[in-house]
Amino acid sequence: VGGRLELEQAVMIAPAHLAAHYNLGLVYREFGRMSEARDEFRKVLEIDLNHVKAQLQIGYTYQEEGFFEEAREAFQIARQMDITDQEPQRALEDLAQYEIRARERSRLETAQVFERNRRLLFREQQGELLTGRSRAASDQQGISGDSGN
């Protein structure tokens, strides 16, 4: 895969250059620029309606962003493009596993945030109790000291 700048220049010079759009999409995906990557893969599909790999890449970008329904739809379209190509079916199967792991991570992160917040609240409540006790003791001392005068 070429450099981003060279590929951007290539698609400006030759807008119908399928490989340049595809490779630019891969570069954008690698750098986390998913929306731009999808745009490039869609341009590939405008040039070649049956470019299974570009359709798969659209699915992968959605998957990486956690848009599982969109990814599933993209993979299903890729499967319909060429029923002999096994990669779309593998992508759909992998997506199911990816979704399960993502949900597990999300549940774990939620549990960790809940536990962290519970601990902070507990410490805060303990601090208020201690502050309240010391205030009460101080008030009590003040009352005791006043009565001695």
Say yes or no to pLDDT of 46 above 90: yes
> pLDDT category, 111, cuts 50, 70, 90?
confident
Q: Tell me the whole-structure pTM to 2 decimals.
A: 0.69
Distance in angstroms between the alpha carbons of the first and the last residue of the chain: 89
- Determine which helix (DSSP H) or strand (DSSP E) holds 87, and give its type and residue range: helix 87-147
Give the whole-angstrom CA distance, residue 86 versus residue 77. Answer: 13
What is the pLDDT, as a whole number, of residue 138?
63
